[in-house]
Amino acid sequence: MFGQFQQSNIRLEINASSQTIRESLTQPQQLKQWLWLQRWPELPTQLTTGTTFTTQIGVVPIHHTVETLHDHGIRFLLRQGIDGFHGWSWDDGWLQSHLEGVSLLPLNLGQTVTLLSLRRFIETKAAKS
């Protein structure tokens, strides 16, 4: 893999329940709404351990495999455009993202944009309820 090793941890407060955050990160229909910069394949209604899929950011493919999934976290193994992993942890009122890998993409910038998009998506959804 070409690129440089990068790692980033970001934790933020989010006005949402653990269940709302979990659904936003594990249900592909919701993922597609806040990760709108990526092109998505057809996926099942719920991600499970072992689910594999490839998204694209522009011409860069990123292959994902759900390595672990539990009530308060999910971890994706990444290949192709990013060789590494992306782990998410959450509970009521907070969300943390840990991204690590080798890539030509600016991972910290992408992670920051992703987290802000997720927070806006969740808070907008909560305001409508």
Which of 72, 74, 112, 111 lies closest to 92 in space, CA to CA?
A: 72
Q: CATH number, domain at 108?
A: 3.30.530.20
Mean pLDDT (whole number) for 43-65: 95
What integer best gives the mean pLDDT of the chain?
94
Of 48, 24, 51, 29, the C-alpha closest to 40 is: 29
pLDDT band at 8; cut points 50, 70, 90: very high
The answer to whether 78 touches 71, Cβ cutoff 8 Å, is no
The maximal CA–CA distance of the chain, rounded, in angstroms, is 45
Confidence band, pLDDT 50/70/90 cuts, at residue 128: confident
**Predicted confidence (pLDDT) per residue in 80-109, tens digit:** 999 999 999 999 999 999 999 999 999 999
The Cα-based distances of 75 to 16, 47, 91 in angstroms read: 20, 11, 15
Domains: count for the chain: 1
User: What is the domain extent for residue 33?
Assistant: 4-49+56-128
Q: Is 68 exposed, middle or buried (0-12, 13-18, 19+ CB in 10 A)?
A: exposed
What is the pTM (predicted TM-score) of this model?
A: 0.92
